[in-house]
Structure 1
Amino acid sequence: MNSLKQSAYYAIGILMMKGVSLIMIPYITHKLSLAEYGSLEALVLLADIGTILFSFGIVDAMYRYIGTAEGAEKQQLISNCFTLSVIVCVVGGSLIGISLPWLIHTLPVTFESYQILLLLIPTMIDGAISIPLTLMRMNAMAKRFCILNVIKALVQAMMTFVLLEAGFGIDGVLISAACSSLLLLMCLLKYQWSQMGTFGYLGSSRLILSFGLPVLVGGASVYMINGLDRWFLASFVGVEQLAIYAVSAKFALILGLALQPYALWWFPNRVAILNGVNGKQECADKAVLGVNIAILLATAMILTAPSFVTLILPTTYQSASTLLVALLVIGVIKNAGDYLNLGCYSGDSSKAQMWIQGICATIAVIGYFVLVPIWGLLGVILVLTIAYTARLMMLYKASQFLEFLPYCHMAWLSALTISALAISTHWLITESMSAPFQFATGIIFSILTMAGFAKFSIIPLPLDVLRKFKLIRHSAI
């Protein structure tokens, strides 16, 4: 029940934090033109690059080493991680400030210098606040994690609304992001200090960086797979098509958002579970469960989201509903690669993952160069499918070689079978229906799919909750 309770808090926090921004998409797309929204998305992509670089793989090193450390050693490792993060953010921010004229000239979309600097504030801060937020997850402080992130999301949403109504446009979105990140940093500093005691310890830097740097390279490689696509669209197709693709991608992110409660509990604890009693079987079962949850959620979204997008977005974004289905399938493939690669994290190095991510990034870059100028959005979809499928296969092979786990493959094969049956049947029945009827029918089919997953124990029901429910019914009678 403890892990279930933790996941419930994470669910509330993540749904509020990310859900608020998703809810605002219809509002923002009506307030900004197609070109303005495409330009805003280009700025977000720039922030994504900075987030990867400023992270330096330190959070993954925390998962690996702090989870098994105790006492003074644990405090020193926490201090080392936070100190390194601050140093990286300050040095990285300074370098970006110095190279600002060159950066503005190089970007495929025109921006003002102050817009890049506004964007730099939350990007730098997010690198530092990721340390205390990760500590909260590792220390089972889901409730506090939830409250802080909800506050940040609400402040950012309210500021965005006020500033857009005041006519600030893209600048209003950037200002609200900077202010909300500063607020969250101030709220986290006291907790961070209580965990590390002192600031400035660097004695374990070599250990942390030896694990974190390969993760950083891997993260940069992932960005080349799922980030350069938008730069190529902006360069070869235009910001209008980028805007449509970006909206589809944001709705597809709901899949990752829905998976976060389980992921936020699982990823920080997987190494500790592996080292426990019957650890290999436990990890194998929980990893496959993560894959099956993704299949179920993606199926529910494929059944409902395209018609929902058609209903709520301006007519200029209608083609986003078709792209959304393809991106959800790609999201399932990516998620499977994330869950079935525990062996890459079981040792003292993550170099195997680094090489695999690098190979897939090379495949993606070549694909973008060749296919996007010719096929545009379709080219992007093909490249993403090939790259993430190759990533899944290589990560699985490498992981099993480094740390063999007894996965039950019949579970995810059954999940795919039920999902394919539900989607194809729904499509045949609703092909000629209007969007509202398609959406309503999709909800019914989603419920039936969930029932099928439960019937065949693809996703086990939480027995403690069921027992509690029966007790409540009994007492009511």
Structure 2
Amino acid sequence: MSGRLHISNPVVRRFNNLPQALQYSLIYAAALGLSKGLALVMVPVATHYLTPADYGRLDVLQTLADLLSILIGMGLAETLYRYAGSADNPEERNAAAANIFGMALCLGGFALVLGQLCAGPVSRLLPGDISETDTRLILFSLALCGTILVPLAWLRMQNFAWLYLAGTAGRVALQVAISVLLLTLGFGVTGVLSATLISAIVLAAYLIYKQYQDTGIRFDFTRFRSYSVYGGPLIFVGIAGFVLGSFDRWILADSVGTAKMAEYALAAKFGLITAVLIQPFDLWWHARRFSRLKEADGPQACARFAAIGIIIALFAALFITAAGPLMVRLLTPEAYHGAIDYIPWLAALAAVHNITATLNFGAMTQRSTWRPAAVDCSAAALALTGYLLLIPLYQAWGAIIATSIALVSRCLVTLYISQRILPLPYPLRRLTLLVVISLLLISLTPQQPLSWATLGLYPLIFTAFVTAVISSGLIPLSLLPARLQQRLHTLHRKLSLPGNTGK
């Protein structure tokens, strides 16, 4: 179930001849494409059966899930990468994985009991008049978070990419099928949350069985202490990420109501497809970068793959800037079309968020993660201050301005600290120039309905981006198939800018 298919077929043979990084990225892309494509089916269905106010309530519960999954997950996937990924032998790797999964089960059981006890008070604290039943459903689903995230991370570490694809896409397919059925029967938000819970139970049951087969489950509490030192601060990183990525919608819901906030929430969903487009590469690379660093050319390889990840993030933001408005017009009623104005900037912010996660590798190599926690909490405090000051004045644009200031500041500080801990040879000047060019192209991408005039601009914008990438020399041609290498090598010589070999 790794990235290689053993089937006699010309297409499969071509796939097997691709570089390993590209093979796994394509499989993870298929997993995300199927998952998000199926989830995208829910957009026209949900906006048809749910009023904007109900859609806003569902978004409030989903942002609650974002927050609590951070607390329940406790950075255990990252802890698995750190301790199992840097283990010196298979026995130690399996022991680390078994104990981290045991820790996940303990946290999940505790979260299940505590969540059901606290469901009533939590529902009353949430904005938007959320029912206690809906709160119980989302809290039950979240208790399964660790039992899903850790085994999925293990599959990625073991290169069981096809199994990862089957698990993630299968869960979403089941969730969407049940959601559509329950929405048509009139169950509203409760139906969507019930579908989420059922699909989570099915996937968790299989993954617990699979993990037990692979590594067993252990409860070595002396190890739990060292894992907590590493993963514990990541809770604060996650909470800061929640503030930077979702909490603005809670303030907006309280300030302008869930119906008006629904436009911004929908834009955020489309903007965050940027992160989905980036994830295939990240799912492969982030699970392997610790072991890659230990190899002979580790620092150079880590810098090279980080640059590739940044290019993918910038392209994803540009793509969503162009495609997002069209998708909103095709998939949603006119009452939601105000979301279009926000999509380009939310897509760009999603790219900045991902670039920060790519550049924080140096800080993540330490035995404790308090440095990234401190940086992220400072950025969250800056964003929260901006939300409280700017949202009452400028509503959604105030949220975007505050988030922009916080995310850019966090990215720069993270790069500085990580380079102090683990200096990697990033091509910073070329990357900075590419970021500036990408932001300019995003600002020039038309958002109005398609016409012959606007349609002609899209090829020009994407051609300009590809030209800038090739000219920069940031993607090594050796990573591509031989025939494509030859064509791009010729094109690269023609387009190469003076001095592009420097940093």
- TM superposition score category, shorter chain reference: over 0.9
Give matches, 1:326-345, under 5 Å: 326-345=345-364
Displacement of 1:101 after TM fit? 2.6
Instruction: Give the aligned partner of residue 368 of structure 1.
Output: 387
Q: Is this contact kept in 2: 1:304–1:442, CA < 8 A?
A: no
Displacement of 1:289 after TM fit? 1.5
TM-score, normalised with respect to structure 1: 0.92
Give matches, 1:314-325, under 5 Å: 314-325=333-344
Rounded Cα–Cα distance in structure 2 between residues aligned with 1:442 and 1:127: 45
Q: Is this contact kept in 1: 2:116–2:140, CA < 8 A?
A: no
Q: Cα 1:445–1:373, aligned 2, differ >3 Å: closer, same or farther?
A: same
Rounded Cα–Cα distance in structure 1 between residues aligned with 2:43 and 2:116: 30
1:392 to 2:407 alignment: no
Structure 1: tracts of 5 or more residues without a match: 471-477
Instruction: Give the aligned partner of residue 94 of structure 2.
Output: 75
168-177 vs 196-205, greater mean Cα deviation: 196-205
Instruction: Give the aligned partner of residue 105 of structure 1.
Output: 124
Instruction: Give the aligned partner of residue 298 of structure 1.
Output: 317
Instruction: Give the aligned partner of residue 54 of structure 2.
Output: 36
Rounded Cα–Cα distance in structure 2 between residues aligned with 1:56 and 1:112: 27
Instruction: Give the aligned partner of residue 309 of structure 1.
Output: 328
Instruction: Give the aligned partner of residue 435 of structure 1.
Output: 450
Instruction: Give the aligned partner of residue 33 of structure 2.
Output: 15
1:241 to 2:260 alignment: yes
Displacement of 1:466 after TM fit? 4.1
1:465 to 2:466 alignment: no
Q: Deviations over 1:295-323 (max 9, x none)?
A: 12212222332244234321111111111
Structure 2: tracts of 5 or more residues without a match: 1-18, 487-503
> Partner letter of residue 299 of structure 1?
L
Displacement of 1:420 after TM fit? 4.8
Displacement of 1:272 after TM fit? 1.4
1:274 to 2:293 alignment: yes
1:51 to 2:69 alignment: yes
Instruction: Give the aligned partner of residue 186 of structure 2.
Output: 167
Q: Cα 1:130–1:152, aligned 2, differ >3 Å: closer, same or farther?
A: same
Match of 2:197 among 173, 178, 187: 178
Secondary structure at 1:348's aligned position in 2?
Answer: coil
Q: Is this contact kept in 1: 2:307–2:474, CA < 8 A?
A: no
Displacement of 1:442 after TM fit? 5.4
C-alpha RMSD of matched pairs (Å): 2.1
> Partner letter of residue 448 of structure 1?
T
Rounded Cα–Cα distance in structure 1 between residues aligned with 2:424 and 2:388: 38
Q: Cα 1:221–1:414, aligned 2, differ >3 Å: closer, same or farther?
A: closer
Displacement of 1:467 after TM fit? 3.4
Aligned residues, how many? 466
Instruction: Give the aligned partner of residue 493 of structure 2.
Output: none
Rounded Cα–Cα distance in structure 2 between residues aligned with 1:279 and 1:440: 44
Rounded Cα–Cα distance in structure 2 between residues aligned with 1:224 and 1:454: 33
Instruction: Give the aligned partner of residue 401 of structure 2.
Output: 382
- If asked which structure has higher relative contact order (CA below 8 Å, sep 6+), I would say 1
Q: Cα 1:59–1:421, aligned 2, differ >3 Å: closer, same or farther?
A: closer
Q: Cα 1:468–1:181, aligned 2, differ >3 Å: closer, same or farther?
A: same
Q: Is this contact kept in 1: 2:316–2:351, CA < 8 A?
A: no
Give matches, 1:68-217, under 5 Å: 68-69=86-87, 70-217=89-236
Q: Deviations over 1:51-80 (max 9, x none)?
A: 111001111111111012223322221121
Instruction: Give the aligned partner of residue 452 of structure 1.
Output: 467
291-300 vs 170-179, greater mean Cα deviation: 291-300
1:25 to 2:43 alignment: yes
Rounded Cα–Cα distance in structure 2 between residues aligned with 1:270 and 1:252: 27
> Partner letter of residue 261 of structure 1?
P
Displacement of 1:31 after TM fit? 1.6
Q: Cα 1:246–1:424, aligned 2, differ >3 Å: closer, same or farther?
A: closer
> Partner letter of residue 128 of structure 1?
T
> Partner letter of residue 470 of structure 2?
K
Displacement of 1:411 after TM fit? 2.8
Q: Is this contact kept in 2: 1:89–1:127, CA < 8 A?
A: yes
Rounded Cα–Cα distance in structure 2 between residues aligned with 1:182 and 1:442: 47
Displacement of 1:410 after TM fit? 3.1
Q: Cα 1:62–1:424, aligned 2, differ >3 Å: closer, same or farther?
A: closer
Match of 1:255 among 231, 252, 274: 274
Instruction: Give the aligned partner of residue 352 of structure 1.
Output: 371
Displacement of 1:365 after TM fit? 1.6
368-377 vs 303-312, greater mean Cα deviation: 303-312
Match of 2:84 among 46, 52, 66: 66
Q: Deviations over 1:246-281 (max 9, x none)?
A: 100110111100001100011111111222112111
Rounded Cα–Cα distance in structure 1 between residues aligned with 2:336 and 2:131: 27
Q: Deviations over 1:424-468 (max 9, x none)?
A: 6654xxx8x743547744542354245414532344456553438
Q: Is this contact kept in 1: 2:128–2:257, CA < 8 A?
A: no
Rounded Cα–Cα distance in structure 1 between residues aligned with 2:465 and 2:393: 40
> Partner letter of residue 305 of structure 1?
G
Rounded Cα–Cα distance in structure 1 between residues aligned with 2:468 and 2:38: 29
Q: Is this contact kept in 1: 2:237–2:372, CA < 8 A?
A: yes
Secondary structure at 1:204's aligned position in 2?
Answer: helix
Q: Cα 1:239–1:74, aligned 2, differ >3 Å: closer, same or farther?
A: same
Rounded Cα–Cα distance in structure 1 between residues aligned with 2:135 and 2:454: 40
> Partner letter of residue 445 of structure 1?
L
Rounded Cα–Cα distance in structure 2 between residues aligned with 1:193 and 1:100: 31
Q: Cα 1:346–1:437, aligned 2, differ >3 Å: closer, same or farther?
A: same
Rounded Cα–Cα distance in structure 2 between residues aligned with 1:183 and 1:163: 18
Rounded Cα–Cα distance in structure 2 between residues aligned with 1:181 and 1:236: 33
Rounded Cα–Cα distance in structure 1 between residues aligned with 2:117 and 2:188: 27
Q: Is this contact kept in 2: 1:418–1:452, CA < 8 A?
A: no
Rounded Cα–Cα distance in structure 2 between residues aligned with 1:309 and 1:344: 39
Rounded Cα–Cα distance in structure 2 between residues aligned with 1:36 and 1:198: 41
Q: Cα 1:146–1:469, aligned 2, differ >3 Å: closer, same or farther?
A: farther
Instruction: Give the aligned partner of residue 404 of structure 1.
Output: 423
Rounded Cα–Cα distance in structure 2 between residues aligned with 1:75 and 1:466: 38
Q: Is this contact kept in 2: 1:17–1:149, CA < 8 A?
A: yes
Rounded Cα–Cα distance in structure 2 between residues aligned with 1:288 and 1:469: 18
Displacement of 1:234 after TM fit? 1.2
> Partner letter of residue 388 of structure 1?
L
1:286 to 2:305 alignment: yes
Rounded Cα–Cα distance in structure 2 between residues aligned with 1:155 and 1:249: 24
Rounded Cα–Cα distance in structure 1 between residues aligned with 2:96 and 2:55: 42
Rounded Cα–Cα distance in structure 2 between residues aligned with 1:8 and 1:375: 41
Q: Cα 1:94–1:434, aligned 2, differ >3 Å: closer, same or farther?
A: closer
